[in-house]
Protein backbone atom coordinates (compact mmCIF):
# COMPACT_ATOMS: atom_id res chain seq x y z
CA UNK A 1 0.00 0.00 0.00
CA UNK A 2 1.15 3.50 -0.75
CA UNK A 3 0.85 6.29 1.81
CA UNK A 4 0.30 9.94 0.99
CA UNK A 5 2.25 12.64 2.78
CA UNK A 6 0.44 15.18 4.96
CA UNK A 7 -0.27 18.64 3.58
CA UNK A 8 0.53 21.79 5.47
CA UNK A 9 -2.32 22.39 8.01
CA UNK A 10 -3.61 25.63 6.44
CA UNK A 11 -3.61 24.25 2.92
CA UNK A 12 -5.17 21.00 4.14
CA UNK A 13 -8.08 22.88 5.72
CA UNK A 14 -8.69 24.86 2.52
CA UNK A 15 -8.52 21.70 0.41
CA UNK A 16 -10.99 19.82 2.62
CA UNK A 17 -13.49 22.68 2.56
CA UNK A 18 -13.14 23.12 -1.21
CA UNK A 19 -13.62 19.40 -1.99
CA UNK A 20 -16.44 19.04 0.53
CA UNK A 21 -18.37 21.74 -1.29
CA UNK A 22 -18.08 24.46 1.37
CA UNK A 23 -17.43 28.10 0.65
CA UNK A 24 -14.22 29.48 2.13
CA UNK A 25 -15.91 32.45 3.79
CA UNK A 26 -18.33 30.64 6.08
CA UNK A 27 -18.10 26.85 5.99
CA UNK A 28 -20.55 26.37 8.86
CA UNK A 29 -23.53 27.89 7.03
CA UNK A 30 -23.15 26.20 3.64
CA UNK A 31 -24.22 22.70 2.71
CA UNK A 32 -21.83 20.10 1.29
CA UNK A 33 -22.07 19.12 -2.36
CA UNK A 34 -24.46 16.15 -2.56
CA UNK A 35 -22.92 14.91 -5.85
CA UNK A 36 -19.73 13.79 -4.10
CA UNK A 37 -19.63 10.05 -3.25
CA UNK A 38 -19.52 9.27 0.45
CA UNK A 39 -16.56 7.04 1.41
CA UNK A 40 -18.46 5.68 4.42
CA UNK A 41 -21.06 4.21 2.02
CA UNK A 42 -18.49 2.72 -0.37
CA UNK A 43 -17.67 -1.00 -0.47
CA UNK A 44 -13.97 -0.21 -1.11
CA UNK A 45 -13.52 2.04 1.95
CA UNK A 46 -11.97 0.69 5.15
CA UNK A 47 -10.32 1.83 8.38
CA UNK A 48 -6.69 0.75 8.68
CA UNK A 49 -4.69 -0.24 11.75
CA UNK A 50 -1.99 2.28 10.83
CA UNK A 51 -2.31 5.23 13.25
CA UNK A 52 -0.63 7.60 10.79
CA UNK A 53 -2.83 6.67 7.83
CA UNK A 54 -6.27 5.74 9.19
CA UNK A 55 -8.36 5.62 6.01
CA UNK A 56 -7.98 3.23 3.09
CA UNK A 57 -9.39 2.54 -0.35
CA UNK A 58 -9.14 -1.00 -1.71
CA UNK A 59 -10.07 0.07 -5.26
CA UNK A 60 -7.08 2.44 -5.53
CA UNK A 61 -4.90 0.42 -3.11
CA UNK A 62 -3.77 3.29 -0.87
CA UNK A 63 -4.02 4.58 2.70
CA UNK A 64 -4.41 8.23 3.64
CA UNK A 65 -4.65 10.65 6.57
CA UNK A 66 -7.98 11.92 5.26
CA UNK A 67 -10.97 10.48 3.42
CA UNK A 68 -9.81 8.81 0.19
CA UNK A 69 -12.33 10.77 -1.91
CA UNK A 70 -10.46 13.97 -1.05
CA UNK A 71 -7.15 12.57 -2.31
CA UNK A 72 -8.77 11.10 -5.43
CA UNK A 73 -10.49 14.39 -6.29
CA UNK A 74 -7.29 16.36 -5.66
CA UNK A 75 -5.10 14.04 -7.75
CA UNK A 76 -7.46 13.48 -10.68
CA UNK A 77 -9.65 16.57 -10.62
CA UNK A 78 -12.71 14.28 -10.83
CA UNK A 79 -14.94 12.46 -8.39
CA UNK A 80 -14.24 8.80 -7.62
CA UNK A 81 -15.21 6.55 -10.53
CA UNK A 82 -14.81 3.35 -8.47
CA UNK A 83 -17.54 4.18 -5.92
CA UNK A 84 -19.72 1.14 -5.24
CA UNK A 85 -22.56 1.26 -2.72
CA UNK A 86 -22.10 -1.08 0.28
CA UNK A 87 -24.55 -3.91 0.69
CA UNK A 88 -26.73 -3.28 3.70
Per-residue model confidence (pLDDT) at position 88: 77
Residue 48 in domain:
yes
Mean pLDDT of 61-74: 93
Mean pLDDT of 18-45: 65
Looking from the CA of 17 toward its CB, the CA atoms found within 13 Å total 15
Residue 82 in domain:
no
Confidence check: pLDDT of 32 > 70 = no
Q: How far is CA 17 from CA 25, 38, 50, in A?
A: 10, 15, 25
Residue 12 in domain:
yes
* End-to-end alpha carbon distance in the chain: 27
Residue 68 in domain:
yes
- pLDDT band at residue 23 using 50, 70 and 90 as cut-offs: very low
Per-residue model confidence (pLDDT) at position 37: 82
Residue 28 in domain:
no
Per-residue model confidence (pLDDT) at position 29: 42
Q: How many domains does the chain have?
A: 1
- pLDDT band at residue 30 using 50, 70 and 90 as cut-offs: very low
Q: What is the domain extent for residue 44?
A: 2-22+35-76
Amino acid sequence: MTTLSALHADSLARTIFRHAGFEHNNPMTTKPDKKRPDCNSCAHYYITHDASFRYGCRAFAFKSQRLPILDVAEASGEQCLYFRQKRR
